[in-house]
Structure 1
Amino acid sequence: MIKGLCLSASAAIVMATSLCAQSTRISEDRDAFSFSLNGTSVRIERSGPACPPACLQPMLAAPGVSTIGELEILDFLDLFVSAGQGLLVDARLPDAYGAETIPGAVNVPAATLRPGNQYRDDLLNALGVRNGDFSGAYDLVIFDGGADAPDAAEAVRDLVGAGYPATKLKYYRGGLTAWTTAGLSTVRSQ
């Protein structure tokens, strides 16, 4: 019986290993991508975390919202955050934010911005929205873990859906992965 269990466990490990080695979806609506190059069929697949939830996100999170890079974040920190007119928002869960984030970022998990959250109006108030008036709302740059994390794009769409002006929102699609790949400083947060 023990021998049978060992074989079953071995079989499970082999099955799990082969499952891990399989490709995953590129995005929610695309398994892989094929095209022709000089008469040769070329196929692009993706390996890595399972999609969903770790699907590649589009460069455009919502109409009218600009997607920015690292240099624009530095300018935003200098011009808006330092002046108290903007917030760099880490849309990941608190544990991830606490482990490592971009200096100057505040944590507003994407889930807190969803329409069904009973505290969303309080959160919008903290972002400078007064009784549905967005004229005093902070300018925001929103990021998450990286190009295959849905949190920032969802947060942007939920804010736009709540009436937040697209002109006051920026989307950093590269997220913490692109930031650290560029060799830029990070901090641990409490």
Structure 2
Amino acid sequence: MVPVRRAVIAAALVSGTSIYAQSATITENASAFTFTMNGTEMTVTRSGPSCPSSCIQPIAVAAGVETLGELEVIGFLQTAVSNGSGLLVDVRMPRTFSSGSLPGAVNVPVATFLPNNPYRSDLLTALGVSNADNAPVFGTAFTLVVFGNGPDDGNARDAIQNLLVAGYPTDKIKYYRGGASTWSALGLNISVGQ
């Protein structure tokens, strides 16, 4: 960690303020939410990284795409990944991935899924899709669990949306909203150099 960053963190700790004390929007369209409880108006606000790009993501990213928690991801690793029918896909950038990811994850950066990527049909073929260039057939395609950095990272949602545009079936896509940050925050191990 660079000395300047250490000084900022130390100052924040001494002063008792959060490093992310600035106000941030919650979603791209909302900076706060209000509700009434027992006649008193209350407000939900957020401090932290700015949105965009760090917007809180919904639990459900697309109709038919199942959202998983950590125990379900572990179960997926034990079953689908172990038997060769599934892949755990980390859509973060390679440099971030190489510093550590969930055990068994493969790195496929979010930009790879874009419709205008000239190598997208190669990616789909690598994911087990037959005839990816013309009329894709998904019968032998891997079931995917897609994740990014965490609940405020829209990259997994974007990758899933682009998979759906390519015709990937919803029953072969799962979303791990918690991502690498929640996995680590729960004390689950991270693998480096996969």
TM-score range, shorter chain: 0.7 to 0.9
Aligned-partner Cα distance in 2 for 1:189–1:97: 8
Deviation by residue 1:102-138 (Cα, 9 ceiling, x = unmatched): 0000000111001111111110000001111111100
Aligned-partner Cα distance in 1 for 2:175–2:30: 23
Aligned-partner Cα distance in 1 for 2:108–2:93: 8
Aligned-partner Cα distance in 1 for 2:21–2:150: 22
Q: Who is 2:167 aligned against? A: 163
Q: Who is 2:101 aligned against? A: 101
Q: Who is 1:17 aligned against? A: none
Deviation by residue 1:50-73 (Cα, 9 ceiling, x = unmatched): 100100001111110000011111
1:78 aligns with 2:82: no
Instruction: Say which of 165, 172, 176 aligns to 2:176.
Output: 172
Q: How many percent of aligned residue pairs carry the same amino acid?
A: 50
Measured on the aligned residues, the alpha-carbon RMSD in Å equals 1.0
Deviation by residue 1:68-100 (Cα, 9 ceiling, x = unmatched): 011111111111111111100001010110001
Structure 1: which 4+ aligned runs deviate by more than 3 Å? Answer: none
Aligned-partner Cα distance in 1 for 2:73–2:99: 20
Asked which structure has the greater CA Rg, the reply is: 1
Residue aligned with 1:186, SS: coil
Residue aligned with 1:59, SS: coil
CA displacement at 1:30 relative to structure 2: 1.2
1:29 aligns with 2:57: no
Q: How does 1:1-190 map to 2 (within 5 A)?
A: 21-131=21-131, 132-189=136-193
Aligned AA (1:189): G
Structure with the larger helix share? 1
CA displacement at 1:34 relative to structure 2: 0.8
CA displacement at 1:148 relative to structure 2: 0.1
Aligned-partner Cα distance in 2 for 1:156–1:54: 17
The count of corresponding residues between Structure 1 and Structure 2 is: 171
Deviation by residue 1:117-171 (Cα, 9 ceiling, x = unmatched): 1111110000001111111100000111000001111111110111000000100
Gaps of 5+ in 1: 1-19
Residue aligned with 2:162, SS: helix
TM-score normalised according to structure 2 size: 0.86
Aligned AA (2:142): Y
Aligned-partner Cα distance in 2 for 1:22–1:142: 30
CA displacement at 1:21 relative to structure 2: 3.8
